Each structure stands twice: as C-alpha cells, then as structure tokens.
Structure 1
Amino acid sequence: MSTAAAKALAGILVFVSYSVRLTYAIVHLKSLSASFIDAPARFAVSVNSTGICGALHLADPLEACSSLLNRFRSQEIDTIKFALIIRGKCAFEDKVRNAQDAGFHAVIVYDDRDKGNLVSMIGNSQGIWVPAVFVSKAAGETLKIYAQGQEGECCIINPSFPESAWTVMVISFISLLVIATVVLTFFLTRNRRLNQRGTNPHRPSVDAKLVEVLPCFTFSQACECRVGDTCSICLEDYKDGERLRVLPCQHEFHASCVDSWLTKWGTFCPVCKYDLSTDATCSKVNERRTFLFF
C-alpha cells in the first residue's frame, strides 16, 4: 500500500471513529406509551443508566435562539423540566444554553425536515450540565401535541446495552475492516509483483515438446567447456553424470529444473530473462525439432 493510500485510509478511519456514535437513548412519552429513537448531543452530558423523567414544555420561542420567555426561578424548580425545541435558525449549542439558562434540566431538539437523518449535535461542552438529544420531525411533532407540562410525562431512557459496549463493537468492526484491507492489499501487491517478475503460475509456458528438443549434455568435472558449476534454479552444484540442458542464450541448468521452470513457471531464462516464447526462438527450436524427427 502506498504512503498516500495509507494516510487516506487512516484519515477515513479517524473520521469514522469520531463521527460514528450509535443511538443509545430513547425518548419515551408515557401518555401514548410511545418511544422514539434519538441521537445524543456530543457536547451535552450523558443520561445515566437509570434515565431521567420530567415535565415536557414547549420552548418559547420554539427555536430557542434567544432567551426563553418561559423561565423558571430556582424556587419554582420543584420538578424536572424538559424543553422541546425545533431545529434551525441558530446552532444547537445556543439552543441548549438558552434552555439551560431558563432553568430546564434536559433538552429535546426535533428536526424541521421531513425524512431527515438523525444528527449528532456538536458544540462546545464547557458550561453545559444538562443532557440533550435529537429526534426526528415526526417524533417532535408528536411530542409537541402531547406536551402538557405534567410531572414525569416524558423520559429519556438508556437501553440495557450501554454506550461503551456499542463503542467496543464499532471499534472492533473498524479494526477488522482495517486488517482485512491490509491483508487484501498485501496479496494484491504480492501477486502484481509476481506477475512483473514472471513467477506467476498462470503465466504462459513453453510447450513441453519444444523444451525436450533443446540441447542436453552430461556434466563432467573433467570437461573444460562447462560455463558454471552451480544450477541457478536449485542452487545445487553440478555432479558428474547429471544431465544438463542448454538454452539458446547459452545458459545451462539441471535438465529437470529448467524443464519444470519452462513448462510451469515462465518462458524465459532464469538468469538473463531471455524469452523463449519469441517467434525467432520458437522458429529455431521448431527447426531443430523438425531436423531431429526427420
């Protein structure tokens, strides 16, 4: 894998690791016994394992981009209060801060777009001490209709499967994806290099009948005409009485070694890369084969 590709993959994984956060809370409306999935805000506090229930109030103004008119003084806050806010016109962080300043204990922001995906609200967490979640437009419109400001009418609940478990699953999946990508890249690169070197078993080979008519001789230590003492294929020294085959480029090898090489692994000389599949070479070998047979 190239350096650029590795950096790109690392960047994607960092982005995915940061942006992927599975829904782990549910907004439950008791009057309808209905539940709605949500996406928790990244900058707000998390709902604890026991969840939180309270009275649901519509923010005034509904988009909560300015100080809320329905504010609660400290002596009036005897019950937990949720603020229901619509998306748009200002940042999520501004909405949550305005609701928190007005005395609300939790914030539910609902989408203003039909068929929109749940988003994980992003902002500065400094000074935020209330939980906040994001729900769909359909869920928000339903909550808006049944918001009565009654104690305990709405809850934000954690499922039995905690966020940490989801995080482990996501990280494990990403790690598995990375390993699979690296392994696949390794094998693809290796096969490409083998192809370039001519060691791929699927490369064209020389016909066995053409290989058989290449000249051979019996090796002898006493022979002064020999070129080398070692077979470049098996790296074993030649011994007296062994049968050697000579290629048109004048390089010799053990007959069994070079025969296997040419018929199974490649069409070229292992030493100088002389290609025996060229038309000129095939013609010479065919002429020799014709001469031997006739």
Structure 2
Amino acid sequence: MNNKPWAALVERGGKCGFVDKVKNMMDSGASAVIVGDYQKGPLITMYSDREDTSDIIIPSVFITQTHYRELRYLGMELEQGFLIKITSDEEDLPVLDAIVFLIVSPLLVFPFLFFLWWMQLRQMRLADLAPPEVVNNLPIKVFFKSKLKDNDPVECVICLDEYEDEDELRVLPCRHEYHAACIDNWLTTRKKF
C-alpha cells in the first residue's frame, strides 16, 4: 500500500474473532477496519474473549452482508480506491439534543399558554360586565335636595361630587344611587352589579 491512510475490509468468520481481525489489520498498517458479515442477518455487537482491548487504537465497525458486498465490489472496480469518511460518535450528542428539546419546547409552549390564559381572563372580564341594555333599563331617579331623607347620600361615591338638584341618579337593585353617567360607565366597562 502507499503512504495514504487506508481501511481494511475483512469478512467475518474463520478462526479469528473480531478483536484479532482488527489487531492484525492494525499491525498491518490499516487506519480503520470494516468487518462485513458473510451471511444475511441483523447487525451484531462485536465482542472479545479477552478483557483488555486497550491496545487497539483504530476505529472498527461491523456492517451487514449487503453493505460488505457493495464495498468489496467498489474496491475491486476502482483501481485507485475510494474515500471512506470516519466520523466519531462524539459528534452525535443525544444528551445535547435532549437539552435543546427541553429548553426549546417550553419556549414554544409558554407563549401559547400565556395567550390561552389571556383569552380566558378577557372572557371572564367580559362576562363580568353588565350589558348596556340591562344598565339602561335600571331606574333613574331625579335628585332634589328638598326630597332628601335622613339617611340618603348627598354625594356620588364614584366621582365624589355632591348631588345637585335635577341630577340623574341610577338606582341599582341593591338600592344604592350614583350619578347615572358615573355608574353606567363603571358597569359597562369594569364590573356588573
């Protein structure tokens, strides 16, 4: 082989186990080892009979029979060889993906929840308002100082102005009286009686 890094393509089987195949290819100068299955079937985990495999410092991978045959065919067809890109699993960080998901999801959900809360609050406020038709049907009393009784109020508790003769007072079902202009605005924009 030339001085360029190369990957060994070997077939599973024979007397050598996975670790022995990779170690032998590493000793032969391979920069990586691709072990292909000799039979159809699912991927299996490469294993070792020995406990310590720290002497193997090159990447190795196990591939299906179909992929093995495709690579072997390409290797025989292309005299100059072909480029194999080896990427580290460290680039694929599922923990980072989970963290991003856990941060981005609430950021997308919170505005929606805030909108729902705001709409519900708005609906509650609207439900708490008296319709103008109902307010307009409440009785009106014309105020005269000469007709005052002992406990009758003499000022509007909304605007704090004293009642003047011929002021129109709105009488609520609870018998409280206010300037019609003051209480009508209150009942239709803030709170019903």
Q: What TM-score bracket applies, with the shorter chain setting the length? A: 0.5 to 0.7
> Does 1:215 find its partner at 2:139?
yes
Question: Which SS does the other structure have where 1:58 is aligned?
Answer: strand
> Does 1:206 find its partner at 2:134?
no
- Which residue in the other structure is 1:146 paired with? 74
Give me the whole-angstrom Cα distance separating, in 2, the residues matched to 1:219 and 1:69.
Answer: 109
Aligned pairs for 1:61-80 (under 5 A) are 61=13, 67-73=18-24, 76-80=27-31
- Which residue in the other structure is 2:152 paired with? 225
What is the aligned residue count? Answer: 169
Alignment match of 1:186 (pick from 114, 134, 145): 114
Alignment match of 2:173 (pick from 244, 248, 261): 248
Give me the whole-angstrom Cα distance separating, in 2, the residues matched to 1:219 and 1:141.
Answer: 104
Aligned pairs for 1:1-294 (under 5 A) are 54-61=6-13, 67-73=18-24, 76-84=27-35, 87-90=42-45, 95=46, 101=53, 103=56, 105-110=58-63, 142-143=70-71, 145-146=73-74, 153-156=82-85, 171=100, 175-195=103-123, 198-200=124-126, 206-208=131-133, 210-217=134-141, 224-226=151-153, 230-231=157-158, 236-241=159-164, 243-260=168-185, 262-263=187-188, 268-269=192-193
- By relative contact order (CA 8 Å, sep 6+), the higher-ranking structure is 1
Question: Which SS does the other structure have where 1:181 is aligned?
Answer: helix
TM-score after normalising by structure 2: 0.54
Q: Retained in 1: the 8 A contact 2:44–2:62?
A: no
Report % sequence identity. 17
Question: Which SS does the other structure have where 1:188 is aligned?
Answer: helix
> Structure 1 stretches of 5 or more lacking a match?
1-51, 113-136, 270-294
Per-residue CA deviations over 1:178-234 (Å, capped at 9, x if unaligned) read: 223112212212332443xx3137x885353x4323123467999531398633xxx
TM-score after normalising by structure 1: 0.39
Give the structure with higher Rg (CA): 2
Q: Which has the higher helix share?
A: 2
Amino acid at match of 1:55: A
